[in-house]
Amino acid sequence: MADTIFAKIINRQIPADIVYEDESCLAFKDVNPQAPLHILLVPKKPLDKLSSADAGDEALLGHMLLAAGKITRELKIEDAFRLVINNGEGAGQTVFHLHMHILAGRPLRWPPG
């Protein structure tokens, strides 16, 4: 996988407004927010997209979901947020390093897109 902008943020080569970090993942504010609160949660392990994950990534993926819950509780948005994973260019993925969008702070309608 190419050295993505997210890898550069993880490696502190590019600054970011980091809101959470642990041994497996990092979360930071999106520089192009699509909601009043827009956090990106990325694994430190380089995975280009969700469909590239395998059984060996099961613990990491579960950890990321739990981290998303922890982040939303810390930000006091645990009762109204959306978690989005875009997989592939056709689904709107623009950075090919797996990431979850945590969106909150405005009404989020359904269906999206």
Residue 38 annotated in active site: no
Q: Tell me, what amino acid is at 92?
A: G
Assigned token pair, 16: 């970011």
Assigned token pair, 49: 């997209």
Among the options 38, 63, 97, 99, which is catalytic?
Answer: 99
Q: What is the C-alpha separation between 37 and 42, in angstroms, rounded?
A: 16
Active site residues: 99
